[in-house]
A and B are shown apart, each in its own frame.
Chain A
Amino acid sequence: AQSVTQLDSQVPVFEEAPVELRCNYSSSVSVYLFWYVQYPNQGLQLLLKYLSGSTLVESINGFEAEFNKSQTSFHLRKPSVHISDTAEYFCAVSGHGSSNTGKLIFGQGTTLQVKP
């Protein structure tokens, strides 16, 4: 079974400051890892994913996340945030194997509040 822990429920930060949203996971099998973003009254948008290969993955809007197997973490970072980054961010895991395919396990979410 897999589980995901997002260590901060809310992260307030000033515009143009750097931010890190923390995510730790637990799994008995190899995993795929994801970050999703949810804006108010909308569904989830895939921000970035780690499937295999390079442990550092990047999104088109400046976010990056690093898969750390030894620390079972997949923290999300951005060097300079904008007001428009204000949203809820979800870390998710999917395990390898037929019993886990197609099933995402989500963390409780982190609300990123960017202040002017």
Chain B
Amino acid sequence: KAGVTQTPRYLIKTRGQQVTLSCSPISGHRSVSWYQQTPGQGLQFLFEYFSETQRNKGNFPGRFSGRQFSNSRSEMNVSTLELGDSALYLCASSGGDRNIQYFGAGTRLSVL
């Protein structure tokens, strides 16, 4: 069974641009959560989608948004990028128990 797939693995953007990250969950999983990992703030929850609906949201500005498609794949968008958005963005999927999460390898975003 394939794991969680995140694309792309690496991204370089400049300030002010926007970016879209993609996450394909484990087959059969309907919940996708997103996290930001930085050396200073650690791992922080962004949001969770289940059956195409956002069910939970962390304390991030509105520049961070997401969506989930009918096949459970999810995308995360960051608009008007800032230097502080440089981070590893991790996606996790869950099956029957939405608390048991399996992570992808992440997308490393660098904002110059």
Contacts and interface: CB of A to CB of B under 8 A. Distances in A.
Interface of A: 32, 34, 36, 42-46, 49, 51, 90, 92, 94, 98-109
Interface residues of B, number: 27
By Cβ-Cβ distance, the 6 closest A-B pairs, closest first, are A102-B48, A106-B43, A43-B103, A44-B103, A102-B98, A94-B99
B56 interface: yes
25 contacts: A42-B105, A43-B4, A43-B6, A43-B90, A43-B103, A43-B104, A44-B92, A44-B103, A45-B103, A51-B99, A90-B43, A92-B43, A100-B56, A101-B55, A102-B33, A102-B48, A102-B94, A102-B99, A104-B45, A104-B99, A106-B42, A106-B44, A107-B42, A108-B42, A109-B43
A67 B18 CA distance: 43
B33 A101 contact: no
Contacts of B42: 106-109
Contacts of B56: 99-103
B90 A32 contact: no
A46 B55 contact: no
A29 to B, nearest CB: 12
Q: Which of A51, A90, A102 has the most CB of B within 10 A?
A: A102
Contacts of A105: 45
Contacts of B44: 106
Interface of B: 4, 6, 31, 33, 35, 42-45, 48, 50, 55-56, 58, 90, 92, 94, 97-106
A43 B55 contact: no
A103 B46 CA distance: 9
B45 A43 contact: no
Given A43-B90, A44-B90, A108-B42, A103 B33 contact: yes
B104 A103 contact: no
A109 B39 CA distance: 10
Given A102-B48, A106-B42, A108-B42, A46 B100 contact: yes
Contact of B99 (A36, A101, A109): A101
